[in-house]
Structure 1
Amino acid sequence: MSDHGSTAPLDGVSFVMPVLNERAYLEHAVASVLRQQLEVPAELVLALGPSTDGTTELAQRLAADDDRIRLVDNPAAHIPVGLNRAIRASRYSTVIRVDAHSELSSGYAARALETLERTGSANVGGVMRAEGRTPFQKAVARLYNSPIGLGGGAYHGGATEGEAESAYLGVMRRDVLDEVGLFDETIRRGEDWELNLRIRRAGHRVWFDPRLSVTYWPRESWLRLARQFRATGAWRGELVRRYGRRNGIRYFAPPVLVLLLGLAIVVGILQLTGMLDGIASLVASAVYLPVAAYALLDVAVALAPGGGSIRQRLWTLAVLPTMHLSWGIGFIGGVLSGARDTVDASRLGTRNTPLP
């Protein structure tokens, strides 16, 4: 393990990957890293959380078969802690973050290094292209790739290269990471956005290159998806508490939907019980309009061309409001009381469907 406090990183690439309960995905993710063709030395550092599904044993076997793979422990299991442990253990001057639920496209690393050099940026990212296997996962993936699903961030399908607010995963200069202090370990979700904020505040550039593509496999079940989005929303709420309006306006749409739906329920109860009638009831009924419009949007998205099989379209009807409402509920809680110890409980599950 290198001591970067006294030794400068060597010229090369360190891929870093936090791993927890990813037996069904890890081997494919690792293979996509090891297939990258580079003219400089490379390594893959896996930060292993306390998995319960055999992931650790699989990682050990993979490391035994390829000396480019190195293992570090991440007993806390939290993503930013694991990333920092992997980065501190890494040896090279460029750090590429990868995820066990993702697969790098061919040539990804080489193109990223070229973009990093060409633009003089500190961090470069590309497009996250979600894919699925089951009708449920395909429905989730379609919404991930849609501006309606996740709000239109550049890395969900942008086509124009240029400076960006954040970067998906990220190809980063190690000296800049050391300068700004690595990932904030008090943030459990949204740690990449916060890191990129500090990078930009320090006068460096974050860059989006649509030629860079990463395949992402979403959660496999409705409950795991809801847990993931509630946790992500809670931590975005925490980031709003810390950084206020520096958060984009799109992050406020799901909590507004939650508040409107809650208000519509209250108005409906008051009308049914006769506590609200007459002109007041008529005026209050206006709250149903945006809720009805959202319901029509949900149906339109499910019926739109490219929606897949009937089962996938039915799942779309359930997945879109699940994503928005779970995220919005988490966001409101995060803003009001902070995210505290909220974790992505979906990562703790052990039932995964193996990749083909």
Structure 2
Amino acid sequence: MNYPLVAIVLPIRNEARYIARCLEAVTAQDYPADKINVLAVDGLSSDETRSMLSDFASRDARIRLLDNPKQITSTALNLGVSLSQSEVVIIVGGHTKITPNYVRLCIEAFGQSNADCVGGVIETVGETDMARAIALAQSSPFGVGGARFRYSTRAEYVDTVAFGAYRREVFERIGLFDEELVRNQDDEFNFRLTRAGGKIWLDPQIKSIYYSRGTLRRLWKQYYEYGFWKVRVIQKHGRPAALRHLVPVLFVGALGATLLLSLVTQNPLWFLLIFIPYALAALGASVWSGLRSDWRIVPFLPIVFFVLHVSYGAGFLVGLIHWNLRVRTRAAMIKPS
């Protein structure tokens, strides 16, 4: 087997709770140690992350610690990619623990698929009952639609993966990550790659563990931002990468419209026409997901599904207003007098 040089780029900020597990996994791969470099790009963490990174770097010369003054993921990724000198770049999140064979399986998948990017399946886990419910919702087709990297059991070409491995020439061909994007920078990059004719391969043998948000408030913030920034990605490309990205905003729009209609007509049936089928679907998905994992968290799941879908849809609606106003304002400013 040929062992190309691999750079693992870690965009990190305030990950003291998880960074030790992340780095231990990254540095314990069953791949030649002299063929792996780690670029830990820290966004000026205000917790113990920085000291923990420094401690790891002092014990493992393969780890290089870099500063990310702009504190957003896309700038961290670009800094790491630009300073790496490897044939392959793998993106790993600070909230993530990869399996010991992750790097090797990624390299093998390149040979088997001839893809430009390869990745695997995320196992989302939680450390409390609520976090476990959130993790189950994020691993459910009802929760995340067609995001195959969340639950696929077969190797296939897909439109995106999380924590992907990229051939060096991909960045030379389509550029780096879009630094305007605070969220969705990996989805946008993969969308750009596939539009340029690139291929993304998902192999379910490639596995990682992702630690979910622990509260509904944090889940709301996460998915609200996903929805908000997804509008900007669509605006840049003129169309969504997949129709599934539009489902939450259509649901929230329908829910809001029927609620308003019910209030105006004083007839709750309009709202119930949308809400009851959704509630039944959420309940069914909750029972199905819970019984396959832990029935004790079934009572949490319907509200988790609702928060996940509504937060994304609400963020998308706000994004529609914000980004369209911004574009019109810019156009008015440059309009010749």
2:24 matched to 1:31?
Answer: yes
Q: Match for residue 129 of structure 1?
A: 123
SS in 2 for 1:95: strand
**1:260 to 1:73, Cα distance in 2 relative to 1, 3 A:** same
Q: 1:128 Cα shift?
A: 1.1
SS in 1 for 2:11: strand
Q: CA RMSD in A?
A: 2.0
Q: Match for residue 56 of structure 1?
A: 50
2:68 matched to 1:83?
Answer: no
Q: Match for residue 301 of structure 1?
A: 285
The share of aligned pairs that are identical, in percent, is 27
8 Å Cα contact 2:159/2:241 also seen in 1? no
Q: 1:307 Cα shift?
A: 5.6
Segments of 5+ residues of structure 1 without an aligned counterpart are 1-9, 273-280, 342-356
Matched residues in 2 for 1:166 and 1:306: separation? 26
SS in 1 for 2:17: helix
**Which moved further from structure 2: 259-268 or 249-258?**
259-268
**1:201 to 1:92, Cα distance in 2 relative to 1, 3 A:** same
8 Å Cα contact 2:259/2:270 also seen in 1? no
1:164-219 C-alpha deviation (Å, 9 max, x unpaired): 21121110111221221111111221111221222223333221111111111111
Matched residues in 2 for 1:264 and 1:100: separation? 41
Amino acid of the structure 2 residue aligned with 1:42: I
Q: Match for residue 19 of structure 1?
A: 12
Amino acid of the structure 1 residue aligned with 2:315: G
Q: Flag the structure with more relative contact order, 1 or 2, with Cα contacts below 8 A and sequence separation at least 6.
A: 1
Q: Match for residue 318 of structure 1?
A: 303
2:254 matched to 1:270?
Answer: no
**1:287 to 1:265, Cα distance in 2 relative to 1, 3 A:** closer
SS in 2 for 1:103: strand
8 Å Cα contact 1:237/1:333 also seen in 2? no
Matched residues in 2 for 1:326 and 1:292: separation? 19
8 Å Cα contact 1:235/1:339 also seen in 2? no
Matched residues in 2 for 1:199 and 1:260: separation? 33
Matched residues in 2 for 1:237 and 1:289: separation? 28
Matched residues in 2 for 1:57 and 1:339: separation? 42
Q: Match for residue 347 of structure 1?
A: none
1:123-182 C-alpha deviation (Å, 9 max, x unpaired): 101111101110011001111111001112110111232222112111011122122111
Amino acid of the structure 1 residue aligned with 2:269: S
Segments of 5+ residues of structure 2 without an aligned counterpart are 327-337
Q: 1:267 Cα shift?
A: 2.1
SS in 1 for 2:93: coil
Q: 1:287 Cα shift?
A: 4.6
Q: 1:88 Cα shift?
A: 1.4
Amino acid of the structure 2 residue aligned with 1:171: A
Matched residues in 1 for 2:325 and 2:93: separation? 24
Q: Match for residue 254 of structure 2?
A: 260
**1:308 to 1:94, Cα distance in 2 relative to 1, 3 A:** same
Q: 1:286 Cα shift?
A: 4.2
* 1:152-167 alignment, distance < 5 Å: 152-167=146-161
Q: 1:300 Cα shift?
A: 2.4
2:316 matched to 1:331?
Answer: yes
8 Å Cα contact 2:126/2:213 also seen in 1? no
**Which moved further from structure 2: 61-70 or 290-299?**
290-299
**Which moved further from structure 2: 199-208 or 76-85?**
199-208
Q: 1:35 Cα shift?
A: 1.0
**1:339 to 1:195, Cα distance in 2 relative to 1, 3 A:** farther
Matched residues in 1 for 2:154 and 2:212: separation? 25
8 Å Cα contact 1:240/1:335 also seen in 2? no
Partner of residue 170 from structure 1, selected from 140, 164, 168 = 164
Matched residues in 1 for 2:152 and 2:325: separation? 33
Q: Match for residue 109 of structure 1?
A: 103
Matched residues in 1 for 2:237 and 2:81: separation? 26
Q: Match for residue 292 of structure 1?
A: 276
8 Å Cα contact 1:241/1:335 also seen in 2? no
With the length of structure 2 as denominator, give the TM-score of the two structures: 0.90
Matched residues in 2 for 1:28 and 1:170: separation? 19
Matched positions, count: 321
Matched residues in 2 for 1:336 and 1:133: separation? 37
Amino acid of the structure 2 residue aligned with 1:105: T
Matched residues in 2 for 1:266 and 1:340: separation? 25
Q: 1:20 Cα shift?
A: 0.6
SS in 1 for 2:87: strand
Structure 1 stretches of at least 4 aligned residues deviating more than 4 Å after TM superposition: none
SS in 2 for 1:165: coil
Matched residues in 1 for 2:22 and 2:89: separation? 16
SS in 2 for 1:216: strand
SS in 2 for 1:203: coil
Q: 1:102 Cα shift?
A: 0.8
